[in-house]
A and B are shown apart, each in its own frame.
Chain A
Amino acid sequence: MRRRTFLKTAGAGSVVALAGCTGGDDQNGTTTTGDSEQTLTVATYSSFTGEDTAGNYLKSAFEDEHDDVTVEFAVPENGLNQYVLQKQQGSDVSADMYVGLNTAELVRAETQLDAELFLESRSDLDRADAINSDLEIDPEGRAVAYDTGYISLVYDEDEVDPPETFDDLLDPAYENALITQNAQQSDPGRAFLLWTIANRGANEYLDYWQGLDDNGVQILSDWEPAYNAYLDGEAPMVVSYSTDQVYYHGPDVDMSRHQVGFIEDQGYANPEAMARFADSDVADLALAFMEFVLQPEHQAEIAVRNVQFPAVEDADPGDEFSQYAYEPPETVTHTYEELQGNVDEWIDQWARQIVG
């Protein structure tokens, strides 16, 4: 969301608070019982729910369209691992579907479990063919992409010229110039590492990272600390998302520090996907929810509220979003098969080299 809109919203909120109202009662999750009434429990990450989020938009829009349906969210601290562990322990998976999967997590769930955690969904979805084919992460049709981010560099144009190639980053001109994130725990950090693997190959990427390390790359824990270190002027470039300017634009903002750079004219796609749990009692309802999420108008809303690109070809998130969210000329990503059996090992070897 844009800063100005945020300020407006926050201001309105405080007025409501002073007036002593509790607005939005209609959005309160009501637990009702009855034969025809159904509850859909959607597991997701915490920033997908709450005030002004894509999750809450979907909940109210879906409930409006389906009488007697309540959508509830679960936001386990461990993400998908929560349900993989539940399945491993032999207890029932306590949600109906998961929203916010990435390819590596899907691979991990598959590796860890003998039983099927997810149901196949793709072949039953009318809207599946509208999805951008670059974002089809699951050859078995269980996980279906609903939006995507592109990993890119954000740089300060007063300090550096954007590197054109991965080789450039090894150049003395970029000494101590880059902040990235730990691939063991951060989504963009992992995506950036995988991008270097796509570029250099699984046999050469460690040499490349030796070069980056020698050139003073800083690897911080996660996106927020890395980005804030960048804003504090610790380095002129940071690994981030190509939607950066959606947050930072307007007359008061110094745009020179929010330039988006695509190395090799590429961006690494990090699609977010949804899937139905095999243990769900309301699998049909979950399927209806997935179909709903893929509708063009909802895709546009998700894009704007989640600050990610729509997964389908025919959604229009509006001019303001399109003006400030950049799509890379070329998209890179790893397929499910490429990651299977490799991704954990790649990350582990990488981390050992950095520390060792």
Chain B
Amino acid sequence: MTADWNLSRAFQRVALPAAVAATIAVLVVVFYYPVGHVLAAAVRDGGRLTIKPIRAVLTDPFYTGVAHHLFVDPFGVPAGIADWIAAGFPSVRLGLFGFTAYQAALSTVASVLLGLPGAYVLARYEFRGRRTIRSLTLVPFVLPSILVAVGFRAMFSRRGFANDLLGVGGLGPIELLGTLQIIVIAHAFYNAPLVTRLVATAWEGVDRRQVESARSLGASRFRAFLDVVLPALLPAILTGAVLTFVFTLMSFPIVLTLGGLDLATVEVWIYARVQSLALQEAATLATLETFLSLSFIYVYLRFENRQVTTRGAGQSLSRERLSIGWRTLVDPRRLAIAGYAVVVAVVIVGPLVSLLVESVTDPSGQFTTAYYEFLLARQSSGAVGTVRPLPAVINSLVFGAGTLLLAIPMGTVVAIVATRGGRGSRLAEAILTAPLAVSGIVVGIGLLLTFVFGTTVAGHRLVVIGPVAIVFAHAAAAYPFVTRNVAPALGGLDPRLREVARSLGATRLRALVEIELPLVAPALLAGAAFAFAISIGEFDSTVLLAEGVESYTMPVALERYVGTRSLGPNLGPATAMGTVLLAVTGLSFVVIDRLGGRWEP
């Protein structure tokens, strides 16, 4: 770094607080204001504050199940529990919120279990294509649910590939579609790669010397893992778990496309309420849902705060070669990895590959290029309102790049506040993480009611739509991922590094830019990949803020190809566009990692 540090020290002193203020200003404008506009309806009735709507939801057994007793008759709860025990623990009604949390918890466990071995393999073994696979981990994240459903049906339906495989082994057939299991697996498809990416980054940051010291002091391999490696991984594992829980708590389209209405989540209800313009009920449900997510995030952040592990600028652990000749076939660990690879092939790679196959297969099972020709025909069409694929690709990339430019600084300054601030800084971070925890449907309707329709500022009607608005909305949604990657890494840095720099006369800003940020470069890079993935996959806000077909992104274009009158319920063109989406996104991830990798220590 050759920045000119002769800049006025006064400037350097204000730079950080100014960046924090700018971040908060952006969030207030593009997130808190529109969302608050909608959610306020939950506690307001004709200008007066009220708890009626929230009480109505909490006391309705449909929403809260057995927990509604807590709100209807709190004093009767102990007696109720006694009766329940006396009756021999019969199953209890979960209610919509209970079921939503239950499926989210199951999905979280499944995602962590599926994701962790992947992190282990990526961090500890060397093999051909390792870096590329690591770059591509987040690809499933950007895939629209309607295409995930296509891939999953190809894999898991009665005639699907998984059943063919089981049939070979004399097992099955299994009926997964329409069950809770398939939803949990689909959630793992989306979120296990997230766990893998977070944990692999942390694992690569473990200081080799600390492990070696432990070993030289007589610790067994396992002991060294427990005492040195695991504590360093725990924040990342838990971050992955918390993010997965929060996402799956708000899961919406995938639940109804693969599972069916009897497995509905709270988000399904929010959508239905917005559709019938019952905005107060929608706001009430969304407020409770957000409260649940944020409490969860807050509890986690408090915990993370106590998990301080100091790390310096050490070298990462050396990697073993995955392939060791014929002995690969008898080594138990490598065999287990092979078994894991089969699971990944079925659950994650399988649906993706099925999608590619579907994009060149017509309904009678013959090879066809018609769907790609459809995309070309759209591209060359001059008809009004035609959604053309190439501008969508370009828009997605431009918005993604813009999002990176905004979200990385925003996420980093929030991470600094969260790790350095005094009391209440974790609460502040939890509140600043809200973009993760608010229903996309509510964000959408909030943007509609404020910016899209126009809001009155100093007597002028101000309408804010178009590309710039889209980038800001994406950045607000994406920056918490940068924070969640960077904060644990910053928190884990040895504070003496900074103190030495400061005592040698460096300003706070210079110590940050020259000492600390380079040390957390891998975490910044992972955060950038997440931010890009969020931007590419974003649908709810993009479609509202787009000025017309000219500012559509890839997911929006894809959704338009699903609803093509001339083709009927034919998902062919959508699968072709989905393949384009996957290719463009995958390539971008590789480029981001290769470019960003230059700054890795």
Contacts and interface: CB of A to CB of B under 8 A. Distances in A.
B378 interface: yes
B385 interface: yes
Given A78-B448, A224-B569, A231-B363, A219 B377 contact: no
- Which of B157, B159, B363, B383 gathers most chain A CB within 10 Å? B383
B492 to A, nearest CB: 43
Given A50-B385, A56-B383, A184-B271, A220 B453 contact: no
B384 to A, nearest CB: 5
The bracket for how many chain A residues form the interface is 35 or more
A13 B386 CA distance: 13
Contacts, number: 207
A232 B277 contact: no
Interface string B117-155: 000000000000000000000000000001001100110
B177 A234 contact: yes
Given A219-B262, A223-B569, A51 B448 contact: no
Interface in A207-233: 213, 218-225, 227-229, 231-233
B383 A27 contact: yes
Nearest to B178: A218
A77 B544 CA distance: 7
A244 B570 CA distance: 12
A185 B271 contact: yes
A13 B275 contact: no
Interface stretch (B42-50, B211-219, B303-311, B558-566): B558-566
Contact of B370 (A6, A49, A86): A6
B158 A182 contact: no
A351 B278 CA distance: 15
A352 B272 CA distance: 12
Interface in A223-272: 223-225, 227-229, 231-234, 240, 244, 246-248, 252-254
B153 A229 contact: yes
A127 interface: no
A184 B380 contact: no
A91 interface: yes
B62 interface: yes
Interface in B431-455: 444, 448-449, 453-454
A355 interface: yes
A91 B453 contact: yes
A133 interface: no
B150 A23 contact: no
Contact of B566 (A53, A231, A252): A53
Contacts of B157: 229, 232-234
A336 B459 CA distance: 41
Given A50-B385, A78-B448, A253-B364, A351 B569 contact: no
B379 interface: yes
B146 A224 contact: yes
B341 interface: no
A46 interface: yes
Nearest to A78: B448
A15 to B, nearest CB: 9
A84 B177 CA distance: 38
A344 B565 contact: no
A9 B384 contact: no
Interface in B220-268: 253, 256-257, 260-262, 264, 268
B377 A12 contact: yes
Interface of B: 62, 96, 146, 149-150, 153-154, 157-159, 177-178, 253, 256-257, 260-262, 264, 268, 271-272, 275-278, 363-364, 370, 373-374, 376-387, 444, 448-449, 453-454, 461, 543-544, 560, 562-571
25 contacts: A10-B373, A13-B373, A13-B374, A16-B377, A50-B564, A56-B383, A56-B385, A77-B543, A78-B448, A84-B277, A91-B461, A220-B260, A227-B568, A228-B149, A228-B571, A229-B153, A229-B177, A233-B158, A234-B153, A234-B157, A247-B567, A247-B570, A305-B566, A307-B568, A344-B278
